[in-house]
Amino acid sequence: MLEIKGGDIQYVNADGSRALDSSDYILNATGRVPNIANIGLEEARVDFSPKGIKTSDQGKTNVPGVWACGDVTGRRMLAHAATREGIVAVNNMFGRKDRIRYHALPAVIYTHPEVASVGRTEEELKSQGIAYKKAVVPMAVAGRFLIENEGASGFVKVLTGARHGEILGVHAIGDASSEFIIAAAAMVETEMCVSHASDVIFPHPTVSEALREAILKVA
């Protein structure tokens, strides 16, 4: 994209030619980049790239006494991730050992239907050579989802380690998935196994019961 003026969008085609389109509404979905220019990183010799300031899971940079958190790290550009990064950094500054587990950070796309996810994906597990099991159940196994979303569809996928059954990832598509993904995040954060997660009592009737059914299926 080159420029937006009113309802006109100027952009470059794959062949290098310029083009112009017009629309009543324009959605900017180009993403974000860390704002790290001209803040003295070079002078302080802080290690960074166009993707962000490089930090450890404790919030440390390569320079002692310099810490970073939030979007400037370019790691997980989410408000709740930035909050946790800040807490972790401050804890470590004052001698309390702490770290952020990026794989346990939940993410939500607030579309209709919603998309919620935490942990590793199948693609990541395959690329890392990790043996896993999975279960996929329709959101409609939860009666409340069926009642409140007539005619809608969706699913919950649970990924576990093939040997020990630890919950490695949970991915869901369907409205209200943002409300129960925190339960899955807690399971990933604590490396809970499905044998223990199966004992967790989910309230009825809630959409979260779809997660419970997926856990029982993969157990």
| 141 contacts 216 by C-beta, under 8 angstroms | no
Burial class (CB in 10 A: 0-12, 13-18, 19+), 150: exposed
204 in active site: yes
Answer positive or negative: Cα dihedral of 69, 127, 192, 117. Answer: positive
Closest by CA position to 120, among listed 53, 166, 71: 166
| 22 contacts 15 by C-beta, under 8 angstroms | no
Run of H or E including 88: helix 79-93
Burial class (CB in 10 A: 0-12, 13-18, 19+), 202: middle
The catalytic position among 103, 112, 171, 204 is: 204
Residues labelled as active-site residues: 204
